[in-house]
Amino acid sequence: MTFSDFLGALKDNPYFGAGFGLVGVGTALALARKGTQIGMIFFRRNYMITLEVPSRDKSYHWLLSWITKHARHTQHLSVETSYLQHESGRVHTQFDFHPSPGNHIIWYKRKWIRIERTREKQMVDLHTGTPWESVTFTALGRDREIFFNILQEARELALKQEEGRTVMYTAMGAEWRPFGFPRRRRPLSSVVLDQGVAEKIVDDVKEFIGHPKWYTDRGIPYRRGYLLYGPPGCGKSSFITALAGELGYSICLMSLSDRSMSDDRLNHLLSVAPQQSIILLEDVDAAFVSRELLPTESPLAYQGMGRLTFSGLLNALDGVASSEARIVFMTTNFIDRLDPALIRPGRVDVKQYVGHCTHWQLTQMFQRFYPSEPTGEGERFSKCALEEHAQLSAAQVQGHFMLHKLDPIGSIENVSKIRE
Ligand SMILES: Nc1ncnc2c1ncn2[C@@H]1O[C@H](COP(=O)(O)OP(=O)(O)O)[C@@H](O)[C@H]1O
Ligand SMILES: [Mg+2]
């Protein structure tokens, strides 16, 4: 059979004819569709500009807040609840409203802008375990300036919220997320430690931050560890918060007893901590019981699901090598429960006892709380308090003052009731 015979046979075939017809309509449709597509592409290329911001990008959260501010009339909101459980069992929750996934139209600088927030159902960001998201801004025109403006504004908005405030980060998956709104900075003077203690630590940290070259010249990792130990309620955590405020640093709060913490995750988190931040490990004794106290090799805390090992923690602490000053603060109520390996020099460079109130502290606290009282009154309060009580924590004293807010005399007279 020749080729033309073959074609002839095909033509006679009714299916082929029908098929040909279908193909014809199909082609026309496809062409039309193609045409529209090309037209749309052309239109988009030339008359629309878009900006896509994936959730991984730093500006993503700034932009969400910016959108919330601008898309005031949107009725479709989603909530982002942050939840933080402190080692003490105290729970903090915070609700943030954001525009929900979908389309939002806003009027900005005499332009309509369509904002589409998309959330992939199938894709999860492996780092954070949260759905993969992005926001896309679309505007008519060719002027990219508008997006720069938006990004700029979003950043300024975010920074304004942080100005004079301390940002608290918590670990979420493999990254650090700001927890709640930045708090007003706590002034250092509001935490009264024993004479000279606060100054000593502040000077040490400032000296450390100020001399990166000293470390690099000697090939010493640029980090410094601090341990504050002593009974609860004496100001360890408060002091660290105030110190961060003083330095203009943020705080990365890390929970070692977090069940999902593993060696790798800890290592990664320490290496990606935000710049200018203090890593805070609260109540380290709770997560790591001294190895000597335990019959088995593996301390209690990680007999459960946690895959964080003690050596993993040590390695992570040692491995924190960065050109940024890395400051690690640990607190504990029981220093004797800590493994010596954890607090040896190099891991913990400065150990500071923060204990019950001394005469000096009590006097200072009284004067701070009742500034218009004559100085002698502070001394009198302090003397009475120490006669009545052998050990007083600053938290107890503060609570007592709160009961006698406007009554300094009563505060001295009722000094025996402090503990009640
Ligand atoms: N030295 C201090 N000066 C002023 N306030 C203090 C001091 N110590 C504790 N407080 C108050 O007591 C409360 C608990 O203190 P905190 O810093 O959490 O103690 P710690 O971390 O040592 O257990 C805080 O509200 C804080 O304001
Ligand atoms: Mg504390």
Tens of pLDDT along the chain (420 residues) come to 444 554 455 455 545 444 445 557 778 888 888 888 888 787 777 788 888 888 777 788 888 888 888 876 666 777 777 666 554 556 677 777 777 888 888 888 888 889 898 887 776 666 556 677 888 999 888 888 888 999 999 889 888 877 788 999 998 888 888 887 778 888 999 999 999 999 999 999 999 999 989 988 988 888 899 999 999 999 999 999 999 999 999 999 988 877 778 888 888 888 888 888 999 999 888 776 544 444 444 454 444 445 788 888 888 888 765 557 889 999 999 999 888 999 998 899 999 999 999 999 999 999 999 999 998 999 999 999 999 998 999 999 999 999 999 999 999 999 999 875
* Long-range contact pairs involving 260-264 (C-beta distance under 8 Å, separation at least 24): 260/305, 260/306, 261/171, 261/306, 261/307, 261/308, 262/306, 262/307, 262/308, 262/312, 263/307, 263/308, 263/309, 263/312, 263/313, 263/315, 263/316
Cα of 330 from ligand 2 centre, angstroms: 10
The CA distance from 234 to 300, in Å, is 28
- Determine the distance separating the centroid of ligand 2 and the alpha carbon of 237, expressed in angstroms: 4
Looking at residue 49, its pLDDT comes to 86
**Reduced to 3 states, what is the DSSP secondary structure of residue 184?**
strand
* Contact assessment for residue 147 and residue 61, using Cβ atoms and an 8 Å cutoff: no
Torsion of CA 150, 161, 176, 207, to 10 degrees: 120
Which residues fall within 8 angstroms of residue 30, CB to CB, at 6 or more apart?
A: none
Q: What does the chain come to in residues?
A: 420
CA pair distance 230, 356, nearest whole angstrom: 8
Q: What is the pLDDT of residue 16?
A: 46
Q: Three-state SS for 237?
A: helix
Distances in Å between the Cα of 44 and the Cα atoms of 38, 108, 139, 146 are: 10, 20, 10, 16
Furthest C-alpha separation in the chain: 122
Using CA atoms, how far residue 374 sits from 164, 178, 367, 408, in Å, is 32, 43, 8, 11
Query: What atom in ligand 1 is closest to the CA of residue 361?
Result: 1
Compute, in angstroms, the gap from residue 123 CA to the centroid of ligand 2. 39
Helix ranges restricted to H, 119-168: 145-162
Atom of ligand 1 nearest to the CA of 282: 21
Q: If you measure from the C-alpha of residue 331 to the centroid of ligand 2, how many angstroms do you get, rounded to a whole number? A: 7
Ligand 1 atom nearest to CA at 241: 17
Q: What are the two backbone dihedrals, phi and then psi, of residue 28, each rounded to the nearest 5 degrees?
A: -60, -45
Q: In angstroms, what is the span from residue 3 Cα to ligand 2's centroid?
A: 90
Atom of ligand 1 nearest to the CA of 231: 22
The ligand with the least distance to the CA atom of 239 is: 1
Pocket around ligand 1 at a 6 A CB cut-off: 191-193, 232-238, 331, 394-395, 398
What pLDDT, on the 0 to 100 scale, is given for residue 19? Answer: 46
Atom number in ligand 1 closest to CA 230? 22
Closest-CA residue to 205 (of 243, 253, 242, 164): 243
d(CA 62, CA 76) in angstroms, rounded, equals 19
Q: What is the DSSP letter of 389?
A: -
Closest Cα to atom 12 of ligand 1: 395
Among the listed residues 235, 167, 232, 169, the one whose alpha carbon sits nearest the alpha carbon of residue 201: 235
Distance of alpha carbon 201 from alpha carbon 420, whole angstroms: 33
**Short-list 193, 92, 91, 190, CA closest to 401:** 190
Out of 234, 239, 400, mutate this one to test ligand 1's pocket (max ligand atoms within 8 Å of CB): namely 234
Ligand 1 mutation pick, 238, 240, 359, max ligand atoms within 8 A of CB: 238
pLDDT at 294: 43
CA-nearest of 306, 323, 313 to 348 is 313
Instruction: Report residue 364 as tokens.
Output: 């200072």
Q: Atom 8, ligand 1: which residue's CA is nearest?
A: 235
Q: Which ligand is nearest to the CA of 286?
A: 2
